[in-house]
Amino acid sequence: MVTQDQVKVWDPLVRALHWTLVGAFLAAFATGDEWLGVHVLAGYTVLGVVSARLVWGVVGTRHARFGDFVRGPRTVRDYLRDVLRGRARRYLGHNPAGGAMIVALLVGLTLTGVSGLLAYGASELAGPFAGTFRDPWWAKPLESVHEVLANLTLILAGVHVAGVLASSLLHRENLVRAMVTGTKARGIGS
């Protein structure tokens, strides 16, 4: 139940997609090519979540829309400078640095997923790119590219979680809980 001093920020779809993404990304990372069936399923789930999130970023609720949180580099830089000075303002939706990180994560996840499908096509002759690579030579380099992109995306995810924790401390509010319940204290911010 949302009380008078709380405001709904994250709709159920944003929350469901986020936690499904966390589970699927970690499952894909943990399984690698050791457990290919699960790895491929988790990878498809990541790509499905990212696709749904891209659509929801255009037609979704107020704070889910890209227009609400994707800001130019100057705004992101000014926000980070304010963070360092300990006077960053609070945002109800994603702050400018968080918004930039979300774009980076969505790009990283997409590139990782697509490179995974390409590697899968070349090495297993399966998936949407099953018939694309006639020469098996392609398997190794594509697997390497996929691995590098997955590692970079994991680093982004680590920085993302660090940013969430830092912002939670700075504004004394539990952002992780807000991503579970969907609500935040009304307070100041927009």
Chain residues binding ligand HEM by CB under 6 A are 14, 17-18, 21-22, 25, 53, 64, 94, 98, 102, 105-106, 109, 157, 160-161, 164, 175-176, 178-179
| CB 156 to ligand HEM: min, Å | 7
Residue 10 vs 139, nearer CB to ligand HEM: 10
- Site of tokens 């997923």: 113
| CB 124 to ligand HEM: min, Å | 24
Strand partners, 6: 185
Residue 107 vs 125, nearer CB to ligand HEM: 107
| CB 144 to ligand HEM: min, Å | 20
| CB 135 to ligand HEM: min, Å | 32
Amino acid identity, residue 130? Answer: A
Residue 126 vs 155, nearer CB to ligand HEM: 155
63 burial level (CB within 10 Å; 0-12, 13-18, 19+)? buried
| CB 142 to ligand HEM: min, Å | 21
- What is the secondary structure of 170-188 as a DSSP string? HTT--HHHHHHH-EEE-SS
Contact 93, 69 (CB under 8 A): yes
Residue 125 vs 166, nearer CB to ligand HEM: 166
Q: Coil, strand or helix: which one is 127?
A: coil
Residue 98 vs 116, nearer CB to ligand HEM: 98
153 burial level (CB within 10 Å; 0-12, 13-18, 19+)? buried
